[in-house]
Chain A
Amino acid sequence: DVMMTQSPLSLPVTLGQPASISCRSSQSLVSSDGNIYLNWFQHRPGHSPRRLIYRVSDRESGVPDRFSGSGSGTDFTLKISRVEPEDVAFYYCMQGTHWPWTFGQGTKVDI
């Protein structure tokens, strides 16, 4: 199985300041169709996960543009340009290239 390793696992943030989460895969996520199926989800306790980013850098409709995704090969990053109070949550990367699709351990973003 593809292992997804996130860092840090806990990220204290300051409102209005940027934040960044790293996700590394144990093997290339380039699919046979040439796409990289790397996603980022936000998960608040008691709620369903919410997709923020898909295919490395495509932002989900309705997601604020302070969220951005980047990366290639095996190294990927989620950035929040200016943290807002509602961004307090767990964040997971997930690869959808190789079955079983796998998640990172999750990063807790807290004020």
Chain B
Amino acid sequence: EVQVVESGGGLVQPGGSLRLSCVPSGFSFNAYWMGWVRQAPGKGLEWVAIVNQDGGERFYVDSLKGRFSISRDNAKNSLYLSAYNLRADDTAVYYCAIPTSIGTVDYWGQGTQVTVSS
């Protein structure tokens, strides 16, 4: 059974930074792309970033380029999302999203809340 555990969320001041972690289990981590999706309060789902199996290819939604960085450590079966210069509109639940099949998300984490506020 695939399980996905996220951590790293919390309250951050505007302009601050944080790093979210995602540690899945129950499948071959280094065989698949991995990504992050977020949902702001009262809003819909939004892709943030995605990374390929060896971390060499990374794609971001244009609006977040430069402030968010996705990475992975296959030796630790871990996915990360680093966020910098956070703003109030980055407040959201961030989900680890795992596309083990092309063009879809097969598994989701439980979500970690990020709140940007002074």
Contact = CB atoms under 8 A, between A and B. Distances in A.
A33 B101 CA distance: 14
Contacts of A106: 44-45
Contacts of A94: 45, 104-105
A37 B103 contact: yes
Interface in A15-32: 31
The interface residues of chain A, by DSSP majority, are classed as loop
A104 B44 contact: yes
A2 B80 CA distance: 26
Interface residues of B, number: 22
Interface stretch (A48-56, A62-70, A71-79): A48-56
Contact of A54 (B44, B61, B101, B111): B101
B45 A92 contact: yes
Interface of A: 1, 31, 33, 35, 37, 39, 41, 43, 48-51, 54-55, 90, 92, 94-97, 99-106
Interface of B: 37, 44-47, 50, 59-62, 95, 99, 101-106, 108-111
19 contacts: A39-B103, A39-B105, A41-B105, A48-B95, A49-B37, A51-B105, A54-B101, A92-B45, A94-B104, A94-B105, A95-B103, A97-B103, A100-B47, A100-B60, A100-B61, A100-B62, A101-B47, A101-B103, A105-B44
